[in-house]
Amino acid sequence: MELTLLSPLDMHLHLRDGEMLHNIAQASAHTFSGAVIMPNLVPPVSNKEDVVAYKDRIIDAIGNENFTPYMTLFFKPDYDKTFLESVRNEITAIKLYPAGITTNSEGGVSGFDVEELRPALSAMAELDIPLCVHGETNGFVMDREAEFVSIYEKLASAFPKLKIIMEHITTKESIEALDRFDNLYATITIHHLLITLDDVAGGMLQPHLFCKPIAKRPEDREALLKVALNAHPKVMFGSDSAPHPKHAKEACGCAAGVFTAPIALQVLTELFEKNNTSFENLQAFISGNAQRIYGVTPIYKKVILEKKSFKVPAEYNGVVPMYAGEELSYSVKEIIDG
């Protein structure tokens, strides 16, 4: 059995920088037509020069692969319309992080006072620049995303023309918010469609499944699966593939992030097949919805998968992937560009 996916898109991807960028960028660029690249480097990507330079480094790292890095800025409340107009053609979105809530987010937003944020967010709405949000409070870890829904509601109501992307959602509360506001959208990861907190810490601790937002309850996973498998028009695939060297994961103070980039399409194909779901829905989840939501036209890329066993490598250049050493039922047979 074979399956063809056209111009797959990853709408939430971490490529890091330096040696790590060169070690893992091709894993995404090989099978995806493009990806929305997160800006939380050290220091964060926060001006036009940073964006252009980072994009150049990504293009260099992917070599001959046909792939579009859709660049983002690290949100700052003092961005004004003049600045945003100057950088508009270089970016696809702007990413907002609550301060200190995840990897390299110390320079994020400390409060969500609407009037303080109004100049920047109003200008973004006027210029049609989407706002991507890591939606967690600093409360009890299992409740952080659900608590943040009230902030999404406040922002969606105050800026009805601003396209707001709830990133890597993990809860049924976030899904319920999708249909209450026309301007709320969401990305969903592979790992949150497959695991719960029990898989991370229910037995022996599994550091390579530890991420932020942390995996939640079975009922949350089922709610995510329902909208993804049904290709809800406001959700799209965003891997949140977040590489860390093995020594940073298998350590005290385990780094947060699940590395799924090299196996994303194989795992999603297997998941949709297992749930007897139309592969047309997979195409919408992996590309069609994102094209419509973001208004992008990706590079043409045909990815042909076949029902053939694939053993996931133990490591990719020092980074341990999800399902390392395990067998998947689908393999990438061929990739046709152009």
Judge contact between 119 and 80, C-beta under 8 A.
yes
Angle between the N-to-C axes of helices 114-126 and 144-158, in degrees from 0 to 180, rounded to the nearest 10: 60
String of b and e for 156-184 (b: at least 16 CB within 10 Å)?
beebeebbbbbbbbbbbbbbebbeebebb
3-class SS of residue 185: strand
176 phi and psi angles, rounded to 5 deg? -60, -35
Distances (CA, A) of 185 to 21, 134, 162, 197, 281: 28, 13, 11, 24, 17
Distance between CA atoms of residues 131 and 93, nearest Å: 6
Distances (CA, A) of 94 to 86, 104, 163, 204: 14, 16, 11, 38
CA 11, 101, 252, 202 torsion-angle sign: negative
CA 65, 20, 35, 42 torsion-angle sign: negative
For 10, the token pair is 């990853």
Give the list of residues 6+ apart from residue 196 with CB closer than 8 angstroms, or none. Answer: 215, 216, 217, 218, 220, 221
Looking at residue 186, its amino acid is: A
What is Dmax (Cα atoms) for the chain? 55
Annotated catalytic residue, options 113, 198, 240, 337: 240
80 is catalytic: no
Sheet (strand 184-188) strand order: 72-74, 93-96, 131-133, 164-166, 184-188, 235-237
Could you give the residue numbers annotated as active site? Answer: 240
